[in-house]
Structure 1
Amino acid sequence: MNYAILRTAKLKTMGNIGSSLAHNYRTIETPNADPNLTPKNEHTVATPEAVKKAIQNRLPEKRRADAVLCIEYLITASPEWDGWGTDKETEFFKRASLWLSVKHGEENIAGISIHRDISTPQLVAYVVPIDQRGKLNCKEFLGGRVKLSQMQTDFATTVADLGLTRGKEGSKAKYTSIKAYYHDINHARDFTITAEPPKPELFESKASYGEKVISAVIEQIEPTVKAANSILTDYEKARVDKSVAEASYDTLKKRVEPYLVATKGLNQEEIARVNEAMQLEGRKIAVDRGKI
C-alpha cells in the first residue's frame, strides 16, 4: 500500500523559522541530502531571507505572544510509490501546492520548495495561518484531532487517483518515517540556542513571568532534544557494549552530538528537567500529528 504523507510543524518564533529555512535551502550541512543533486531542488522564492520577509509581511501587528507564526507543511508519499521520477510526481506536487492554496489562500503561502536531493522527494511549504477574519489563528486549521484527521483525509482524496491512499484513520501506531527522522536530526544540527523571551503582561508577577520565560526557552530547544532522543538510547548502549563496531559507535556519537552540545554545562537536575519537558511535548506532538 502506498500512502500520501502530510505532516505539519508549528513555528512560533522567528528563530524557529530561520532554522527551518536554513535546512530547507541547504545553507547549513544536511547529512541526508546529496549535494550533487541539490541543484535539482525547486523553490518558488529564491532565498530564505525572502521567505522570512514574506512571513513577516503577513503577520498582523497585534497577536498573542505565544501565537504560531507559521505552519511548516511537509508533503510526500511512500518511498515505494511508482510515481517517483515520472509525470505522476510532477502532478502530485502540483496538486499539493493547489490544495494548500485553496486551504489557506495563495497570499498566505510564503514559499514552497521541492527537494529532490534526498532519497524520497518531498514538498515543504511555509504558510502564515490567517483565518477568514484576517486573524492569526493556527487553531482554525490544526486545532484538535478531528480537524487534523479531516485534513489528512482531504489531502489523500486529492491525490487518490495517482495510486496513493490515506493512512489508517484512528490508528494508534506510532509511525516515524526515515524522512521525518532525518528531518529532526537536521533540525537539531541547525539549532543554536538563542532565547527570545516573551513580553511580560501588565501587573504580571515575577514568578509567573519566570515560568513563561522557561517555557519559551524549552520550546526553542525542543527540536534538538526531540531529534537526539530518538538515537540517545542506542548511543548509550553502544558506549558500554564492547561488541559494537567502533565505526558504528562513532556514527552514533556524531548523530547524538547536537543533544550533547545543547545540554553541555547543565547539571543533572537541569538536564532531567529539560528531558522531562521534551518528553511531555513529544507526547503532545504525537497526539497532534501522528495519532489521528
Structure 2
Amino acid sequence: MNYAILRTAKLKTMGNIGGSLAHNYRTIETPNADPNLTPKNHHTVTSPEVVKQAIKDRLPEKRRSDAVLCIEYLITASPEWEGWGKSQETDFFKRASLWLIGKHGAENIAGMSIHRDVSTPHLVAYVVPIDQKGKLNCKDFLGGRVKLNQMQTDFANTVADLGLTRGKEGSKAKHTSIKEYYHDINHARDFTIKAVAPKPEMFESKARYGEKVTAAVIEQVEPTVKAANSILADYEKARMDKSVAEGSYDTLKKRVEPYLVATDGLNQEEIVRINEAMQLESRKIAVERDKTEKAIKA
C-alpha cells in the first residue's frame, strides 16, 4: 500500500523559522542531502531571507506572545511509490501546491520548496495561518483530532487517482509532527536497540542478579551504539573524501540511511544535539561496563 504523507510543524519564533529555512535552502551543512543533487531542488522564492520577510509582512501587529507564526508543511508519499521520477511526481507536487493554496490562500503561503536531493522527494511549505477573519489562528487549521483527520482525508482524496491512499481513518494513532515522523522511521529500522535480561538462577542474591542484568544489557546494547557511531564516522569521511570508490560510498550511505532520514527536517542545532546524545550514551555504556566488571571481580 502506498500512502500520501502530510505532516506539519508549528513554528512559534523567528528563530525557529530561520533554522528551518537554513535547512530547507541548504545554507547549513545537511548530512542527509546529496550535494550533487541539490541543484535539482526547486524553490518558489529565491532565498530564505525573502521567505522570512514574506512571513513578517503577513503577521498582524497584535498577536499573542505564544502564537504560532508559521505552519511548516511536509508533503510526500511512500518511498516505494512507483510515481517517483516520472510524470506522476510532477503531478503530485502540483496538486499538493494547489491544495495548499486552496486551503490557506496564495497570499498566506510565504514559500514552497521541492527537495530532490534526499532519498524520497518531498515538498516543504511555509504558511502563515491567517483565518477567514484575518486573524493569526493556527488552531483554526490544526486544532483537534477532527480537523487533523479531515485534513489528511482531504489531501489523500486530492491524489488518490495517482495510486496513493491515506492512513487508516479513525485510527487511535495520534497525528505525528515532522520531527516525530522522522523519529518513527528511524526507530523502525536497523538502529533499534533491544536487550533481553537473563533469567535469575536459583538462590541467586538480588545484588548478584542486578549486576548480571546490567552486564547483559550493556553487552547487548554497546555494539549497536558503537556500530552506529562508527558507521556515521565512516560515512562522513567517505562523503568528504573524493578518492573513495563510489560503490563503497553508496554502501555506507545505505547503512546510515536511518540516521539520515531521521534527521531530515531538523535544523543544525538539533542534529548536533542528536550526535552529542549518541556519543554520551556510548560513553555511559563504557563507564557502566567498567563498574560492572569491577563489581563482579570484587
Shorter-chain TM range is 0.5 to 0.7
Distance across 1 between alignment mates of 2:45 and 2:5: 23
- Which residue of structure 1 aligns with residue 47 of structure 2? 47
Match of 2:161 in 1: 161
Alpha-carbon distance in structure 2 between the residues aligned to 1:120 and 1:92: 13
Matches of 1:231 and 1:9 in 2, distance apart?
A: 26
Name the residue aligned to 2:28.
Answer: 28
Q: Aligned-pair distance for 1:171?
A: 1.9
Partners of 1:235 and 1:252 within 8 A in 2? no
Output the amino acid matched with 2:73: Y
Q: Could you say if the C-alpha distance between residues 58 and 102 of structure 1 is closer, same or farther in structure 2, counting changes exceeding 3 Å?
A: same
Is 2:273 aligned against 1:258? yes
The residue aligned with 1:241 is 219
Distance in 1 (alpha carbons) for counterparts of 2:17 and 2:111: 12
**What does the per-residue CA deviation read over 1:242-292, in whole Å, with 9 as the maximum and x for residues that have no partner?**
861744343579978514759xxxxxxxxxxxxxxxxxxxxxxxxxxxxxx
CA contact (8 A) 2:148 2:175 kept: no
1:24-64, CA deviations, whole angstroms, 9 ceiling, x for partnerless residues?
11111111111100000000001011100000000000000
- Change in Cα spacing, 1:173 to 1:144, as seen in structure 2 (3 Å) is closer
In 2, distance between residues paired with 1:175 and 1:142? 10
CA distance in 2, matches of 1:126, 1:55: 8
Distance in 2 (CA, whole Å) between partners of 1:96 and 1:133 is: 25
Contact 1:32 1:182 in 2 (8 A): no
Matching residue of 2:142? 142
8 Å CA contact 1:231, 1:252 repeated in 2: no
- Does residue 1:110 correspond to 2:125, yes or no? no
The amino acid of 2:96's aligned partner reads A
* Cα distance between partner residues in 1 of 2:176 and 2:131: 30
Change beyond 3 A, Cα 1:43–1:53: same
Which deviations, in whole Å up to 9, do the C-alpha atoms of 1:166-210 show, x marking residues without a partner? Answer: 110122347989x9579669xxxxxxxxxxxxxxxxxxxxxxxxx
SS class of match (2:30): coil
Q: Which runs of 5+ in 1 are unaligned?
A: 186-226, 263-292
Give the secondary structure class of the aligned counterpart of 2:17: helix
Q: Which residue pairs with 1:75 in the alignment? A: 75
Question: Is the Cα–Cα contact under 8 Å of residues 73 and 125 in structure 1 kept in the other structure?
Answer: yes
CA shift in 2, pair 1:52/1:233, >3 Å: same
Code of the aligned partner of 1:241: E
- The structure-2 alpha-carbon separation of the partners of 1:12 and 1:231, relative to structure 1 and needing over 3 Å to count, comes to farther
The separation in 1 between residues aligned to 2:190 and 2:78, in whole angstroms, is: 23
Structure 2 gap ranges (5+): 196-213, 237-258, 260-270, 278-298
Residue 119 of structure 1 aligns to a residue whose secondary structure is coil
Residues 1:136 and 1:31: Cα distance change in structure 2 (over 3 Å): same
Query: CA distance change for structure 1 residues 235 and 124 in 2, over 3 Å: closer, same or farther?
Result: farther
Residue matched to 2:11: 11
Task: Determine whether 1:66 maps to 2:45.
Answer: no
Aligned to 1:37: 37
Shift of residue 115 of structure 1? 0.2
Q: Is the 8 A contact 2:129 2:138 kept in 1?
A: yes
The two structures, once aligned, show a CA RMSD in angstroms of: 3.6
Q: TM-score, normalised by structure 2?
A: 0.65
- Note the C-alpha offset of 1:86: 0.5
State whether residues 45 and 112 of structure 2, in contact with CA within 8 Å, keep that contact through their aligned partners in structure 1.
yes
Distance verdict in 2 for CA 1:25–1:62, change over 3 Å: same
CA distance in 2, matches of 1:248, 1:104: 42
Change (3 A) 1:176 1:147: closer
Q: When the two structures are aligned, how many residues end up with a matched partner? A: 220
- 105-114 or 244-253: bigger deviation: 244-253
The 8 Å contact of residues 115 and 122 in structure 2, kept in 1 or not, is answered as yes
Q: 1:18 to 1:53 in 2, by over 3 A?
A: same
The percent of aligned pairs where both chains have the same amino acid is: 72
**Which AA in structure 2 matches 1:158?**
T
CA distance in 2, matches of 1:172, 1:25: 35
